[in-house]
Structure 1
């Protein structure tokens, strides 16, 4: 079963690398936006899906990465690749800042604090001179690899595709590590997890920081792809759309979140022919989905996966025992 999954994933990756050769510019741009959302939803999946912390201001970390890269490249003339670790560091610090006051908060109160943080970042971007105020930052240079300048749509597609693959692998490894299991325990029963010796404070802050770092990488690439950014690109609606993709796909489910990101971007484009009705149709479809399948399109099945792993181990032990006999 695991070999079948690995082969399927490898085939999917190969198809994703070939697709730019088959699509026109419009659908290639749509697919690139899907990959941006895949990265963002993987970061939010750590916070919401694994740890169970409701975050309504995740677009703030997207903005931190974008503005850090834009400022360093336009004002201080840094290379794009050197701005990535700095943007990740600033985003991690921002994640810790927003996570610290929420350590004792849950449900609605947690949502209000994260929503407030997202609005604070957006308002700061509007009012600070270094961020270009409400006009934003323009003329952001393109990244280079040696003498080659990444400028075409295909270049940025492959760049965000590589980042998306890395983010999926990182989130997968974290989810199957001791840290990931501790996050799930905190999500299921925070008090019981703390009673069992899990450091609730440290792991919550680590969850916020890790999710923020992944979101900042998408923001950095977004800044150089668009060559211009403005506060309107990081509004509350962006946070809602990212959260919607996570919930729609299935909390804690990596493939489900990828499917959710694709649906949130592609479905409105498919309905573009309906003009003013397309968002109404999109909204009705989401409501029907939440009514009849509230767990998401492809929910995470912890018990089933654990049981299958145990069955495989038992079969392997039986074979080894029979061979030794």
Structure 2
């Protein structure tokens, strides 16, 4: 009898699928707890010697949020979006335009929620709402397209947003960007007069990158809960049907346009949240950050992790962020390996498409309604019949 060989990720995925919902929650909380402690006690083999490990993990949290949002669009609904960086830019510029002193729309210092202490927090739901509205405006006329045509339209959208930010100098300050963007004012003290989230908190056990990472972890958990509930709902089942065969789904009565628009708007809102997180952390927003290369890297995180697997794309985001930072400053034959990140990602994608086209942790679709009861019935039909 031959024994099936498990590819990387299959054994872990099968073990995870066999756990109950309560067990998954328990293991998940422990895993996220350990992950949260990594910046405080980084293992030597995992540490980034030439750059702050806390800053690297903060960047990972932002990209993970983007990857989860893009996975809703690409992995679950099957919509090829090459311009997702445009939503990231809209979220970042919403915060920057409302809080930067270089912006004519600056509301910092106003009464109410736009006082200095609360400005960033007030801008986060605004950034998500405006980005979701942008997704609605873009998706309404374009989601009747499919495949390559939709990919080209979304690619154009991402470039249009970047070019608008670059050329509307009177509003966005053009290529010079917007600086002194608001951030959370928390933990102000004599040693840290601007709080733990400020760039002045660059020393000590928990620097500002670590605090931004912790905030990102909380947001990731909340988004995973939201997306997980959607997966198990009628909306999630409609997305899977559309991804597998849109024509068949439409024949069976699924309103494909409505559910595709749902995915687009939800994914856009999550991208806007990550953009708001980026603007607050870096406190500077400029057009070059939102180029097409970054959009491809976000898509690369989804493909590497496994399209449709919300936890897998988090792993893909970690690979995308960690690898270049780990190789930063490492030289081989006089070549800085950190400068070759695109070569490494390209080689990884080629190898993945040959040996593992579904990604490292491919999604295993189950019966979403009464799935566990159905599996138990198939495993023990006689026992269930006696009941």
> Hey, what's the Cα distance between the residues in 1 that align with 2:139 and 2:383?
49
Indicate if the aligned counterparts of 2:132 and 2:266 stay in contact, CA closer than 8 A: yes
Counterpart for residue 240 of structure 2? 184
Is 2:340 aligned against 1:260? no
For residue 298 of structure 1, the aligned residue among 361, 366, 382 is 361
Shift of 1:200: 1.7
Q: Could you tell me the TM-score, scaled by structure 2's length?
A: 0.77
Shift of 1:60: 0.6
1:243-288 deviations in whole A, cap 9, x for unaligned? Answer: 1110111110112111111111112233332444443344323311
Is 2:181 aligned against 1:134? no
Counterpart for residue 114 of structure 1? 154
For residue 48 of structure 1, the aligned residue among 67, 74, 88 is 74
1:192-225 deviations in whole A, cap 9, x for unaligned? Answer: 2122222222211111110000011111011011
> Hey, what's the Cα distance between the residues in 2 that align with 1:146 and 1:22?
22
Counterpart for residue 164 of structure 1? 220
Distance 1:93 1:44, change over 3 A: same
Indicate if the aligned counterparts of 2:232 and 2:368 stay in contact, CA closer than 8 A: no
For residue 107 of structure 2, the aligned residue among 47, 70, 76 is 76
Name whichever of 194-203 and 144-153 sits farther off: 144-153
> Hey, what's the Cα distance between the residues in 1 that align with 2:379 and 2:254?
33
| SS of 2:216 mapped into structure 1 | helix
> Hey, what's the Cα distance between the residues in 1 that align with 2:318 and 2:38?
15
Shift of 1:313: 6.4
Is 2:140 aligned against 1:100? yes
Structure with more helix by fraction: 1
Counterpart for residue 348 of structure 2? 285
Counterpart for residue 374 of structure 2? 310
Counterpart for residue 32 of structure 2? 13
**Structure 2 unpaired stretches of 5+:** 1-18, 101-105, 109-113, 190-194, 199-207
Distance 1:80 1:193, change over 3 A: same
Distance 1:269 1:253, change over 3 A: same
| SS of 1:76 mapped into structure 2 | coil
Indicate if the aligned counterparts of 1:268 and 1:282 stay in contact, CA closer than 8 A: no
Name whichever of 44-53 and 171-180 sits farther off: 171-180
Q: Which has the larger radius of gyration?
A: 2
Q: Could you tell me the TM-score, scaled by structure 1's length?
A: 0.91
Counterpart for residue 27 of structure 1? 53
Shift of 1:107: 1.3
- Over aligned residues, Cα RMSD in angstroms? 2.4
> Hey, what's the Cα distance between the residues in 1 that align with 2:185 and 2:242?
42
Indicate if the aligned counterparts of 1:57 and 1:114 stay in contact, CA closer than 8 A: yes
For residue 254 of structure 2, the aligned residue among 181, 185, 198 is 198
Indicate if the aligned counterparts of 1:251 and 1:300 stay in contact, CA closer than 8 A: yes
Name whichever of 154-163 and 112-121 sits farther off: 154-163
Counterpart for residue 278 of structure 2? 222
For residue 88 of structure 1, the aligned residue among 128, 151, 163 is 128
> Hey, what's the Cα distance between the residues in 2 that align with 1:320 and 1:73?
62
